[in-house]
Amino acid sequence: MNRIVDHPILGPLSEAEVVHIIVDGVPFTARKGEMIASALIANGKSTFRKTVKRNEPRGIYCGIGRCTDCVMTVNGIPNVRTCVTAVEEGMVIETQMGSGEWQ
Amino acid sequence: MNQIKREIVVIGSGPAGLCAAIEAARSGAQVLLIDENAKPGGQLFKQIHKFFGSADHRAGVRGLDIGEALLKDAEELKIEVWLNSEACGIFDSTNVWVVRDKQHSITVQAQRIIIATGAVENSINFPGWTLPGVMGAGAAQTMINVNRVLPGHRFLMVGSGNVGVIVSYQLLQAGAAVVAIVEAAPTLGGYGVHTAKVRRAGVPFYTSHTVKEAHGNGHVERATLVRLDEKWKEVAGSEFEVEVDTICIATGLTPAVELAFGSGCMAVNSPALGGLVPVHDETMRSSNTAIYVAGDVSGVEEASTAMEEGRIAGLCAAHSLGYLGQGAYEARLGVLTRNVNALRSGMFGQKRREAKEYIVSSYGAHR
């Protein structure tokens, strides 16, 4: 886990309700209210999609919803910006291949 | 299509937008504040360091605490806030097309619009720059300070300006190692106090160096650094490798001007403040007299400056609709103008002050 549990300025990590998500078929736990990208990084996943032509990996770049490098297929909807979309209980998230497909 | 009316619509709830909304509401105007994120505050809540300036600018207070105080003000003034709401376009000068919750389309007919959309991080390109593990320094800052996750453990910082050194220090606070900070220029770019903290922590700085290549199988594993000569050309044979899993790019910001230019605001080029920005006068009014701009979208500076500009825009937009008597308006504008000028004084502020003066002096030519 890559959670920052203790922090000299921000203090200890607060308690948060656990949210269950499925990422590429694997169950992950997340903190209620956090962004999908944050939950994936906490669980050690850094490749969010593969590019259209050369199948190259991409992860987060700007983290504030501007660059669209972190888009994934979420609950069957492609091109969801995971850095500005919060996790929800039971969410199904998939590494997006190319420009993705509606499911 | 749904259509509603509001007196003033503020787009973006970062430091500039929040302050604009608060000032306009205090002046008596009816304000709607729109933000596409689930939480207001923009990038203020990842600024966990203490701000500079005088006591008037809340110097010595951490960015996130300033954010909390502004949200409290907005709440007390009962400002209407729409979150998860994207301002997709402005047409016929004052109609804002908004999509709420990614589902509902609505048009807000405003008498005045204040655009406070902020800025986006710049990038630099090098082989391997698309690998997962290469990201904006601001992205890493969001991950560690807002989301409380570490996107890596061994960082390379590219750029020694304030963002580069502040984020480096915050990475150390979050428990990561900063292996090196490279700076293409021959001298360091950040304020001495921030730079010194990182230096004291033992982080090596490499001036006249840049990143030449990122290596790794599916993720950053190493980076090649190279020395630059006085003409900024790579010195052959000076390459060396550092073992890092994350490369942060801190090479400046570009104003997020899409909405402003899409709505027809005229542009002026200000290289010192990030490139093309909407031309505006000293009241932050754009070439479209119903549209005001404030904060980084009107020229990249700092959060403290953005807040003062936001207040000026909010005050002047409200006054242009008839709120506040002339005396009260002029007195308040005088205070805010002095505040913002104070932030643009001294050895660090002079260049920004001159750049702003150029933008304002270009206003007449664009009307």
pLDDT at B366 over 70: no
Q: Which two tokens stand for residue B132?
A: 């997962």
Q: Which two tokens stand for residue B140?
A: 């890493």
Letter for the amino acid at A51? T
Q: Which residue of B has its CA nearest to A65?
A: B37
Beta bridge partners of B76: none
Distances (CA, A) of B42 to B13, B33, B76, B100, B301: 6, 12, 19, 18, 15
- Residue B355: the pLDDT is 96
Cβ neighbours around B357 below 10 Å, total: 12
- Residue B88: the pLDDT is 96
Q: What angle do CA B2, B114, B72 make, to 5 degrees?
A: 90
- Residue B346: the pLDDT is 82
Pairing mode, strands A18-23 and A26-31: antiparallel
The beta-carbon neighbor of A10 closest among B36, B48, B219 is B48
Q: In whole angstroms, what is the distance from residue B304 CA to residue B51 CA?
A: 8
Q: Which two tokens stand for residue B361?
A: 């002096």
Residue B2's pLDDT band, with cuts at 50, 70 and 90, is confident
Residue B53's pLDDT band, with cuts at 50, 70 and 90, is low
pLDDT digits 0-9 by tens, A50-103: 999 999 999 999 999 999 999 999 999 999 999 999 999 999 999 999 999 998
**Whether B256 and A62 lie within 8 Å, measured CB to CB:** no
Q: In whole angstroms, what is the distance from residue B200 CA to residue B171 CA?
A: 15
* Torsion (CA) B141, B146, B151, B156 in degrees, nearest 10: 10
CA A69 remoteness from chain centre: 12
Domain residue spans of chain B: 2-120+253-366, 123-249
Q: What is the b/e burial string over B159-191, where b = at least 16 CB atoms within 10 angstroms of the residue's CB?
A: bbbbbbbbbbbbbbbbebebbbbbbbeeebbbe
* CATH code at B123-249: 3.50.50.60
B218 vs A: CB within 8 A: yes
CA B309 remoteness from chain centre: 12
Letter for the amino acid at B193? V
pLDDT digits 0-9 by tens, B258-268: 999 999 999 99
- Residue B58: the pLDDT is 66
- Residue A41: the pLDDT is 97
Residue carrying structure tokens 């991950």: B143
A69–chain B nearest CA distance, Å: 9
* Torsion (CA) B306, B308, B314, B318 in degrees, nearest 10: -160
Nearest of A7, A81, A24, A19 to residue B176 by alpha carbon:
A7
Residue A103 placed within a domain: no
How many independent structural domains does chain A possess? 1
Q: In whole angstroms, what is the distance from residue B85 CA to residue B19 CA?
A: 19
B167 vs A: CB within 8 A: no
pLDDT digits 0-9 by tens, B319-350: 999 999 999 999 999 999 999 999 998 877 89
B141 Cβ partners below 8 Å, 6+ apart?
B46, B166, B167, B170
Domain that holds residue A79: 18-97
Q: What angle do CA B29, B35, B37 make, to 5 degrees?
A: 155
Q: In whole angstroms, what is the distance from residue B8 CA to residue A12 CA?
A: 40
Residue A44 placed within a domain: yes
Residue A71 placed within a domain: yes
Residue A9 placed within a domain: no
Q: Best of B83, B143, B247 to disrupt the A interface by mutation (most A CBs within 10 Å)?
A: B143
Q: What is the b/e burial string over A46-60, where b = at least 16 CB atoms within 10 angstroms of the residue's CB?
A: bbbbeeeeeeebbbb
Residue A7 placed within a domain: no
Interface of A with B (CB under 8 A): 2-4, 7-10, 13, 33-35, 37-38, 41-42, 46-48, 56-67, 83-84, 86
Q: Between chain A and chain B, how many beta carbons pairs sit less than 8 Å apart?
A: 97
Residue B367's pLDDT band, with cuts at 50, 70 and 90, is low
pLDDT digits 0-9 by tens, B145-188: 999 999 999 999 999 999 999 999 999 999 999 999 999 999 99
Read off the CATH number of the domain in which A84 is found: 3.10.20.440
Distances (CA, A) of A60 to B3, B141, B148, B280: 36, 12, 15, 34
Q: Which two tokens stand for residue B331?
A: 């007195």
Residue A12 placed within a domain: no
Q: Chain B partners of A57 at a C-beta cutoff of 8 Å?
A: 131-132, 218-219
Q: In whole angstroms, what is the distance from residue B283 CA to residue B360 CA?
A: 9
Q: In whole angstroms, what is the distance from residue A77 CA to residue B21 CA?
A: 35
Q: In whole angstroms, what is the distance from residue B70 CA to residue B268 CA?
A: 31
User: Which burial class, exposed, middle or buried, applies to B346 when counting CB atoms under 10 A from its CB (0-12, 13-18, 19+)?
Assistant: exposed
**Whether B144 and A4 lie within 8 Å, measured CB to CB:** yes
Residue A23 placed within a domain: yes
Residue A60 placed within a domain: yes
B143–chain A nearest CA distance, Å: 7
pLDDT digits 0-9 by tens, B63-86: 999 999 999 999 999 999 999 999
Report the sign of the C-alpha dihedral through residues B93, B256, B115, A38, in that order: positive
pLDDT digits 0-9 by tens, B209-223: 999 999 999 999 999
Mean pLDDT, chain B, rounded, equals 95
Its CATH class, for the domain covering B2-120+253-366, is alpha beta
pLDDT at B124 over 80: yes
Letter for the amino acid at A100? G
**Whether B135 and A61 lie within 8 Å, measured CB to CB:** yes
- Residue B55: the pLDDT is 61
- Residue B50: the pLDDT is 87
Q: What is the b/e burial string over B297-306, where b = at least 16 CB atoms within 10 angstroms of the residue's CB?
A: bbbbbbbbbb
Interface ipTM above 0.95: yes
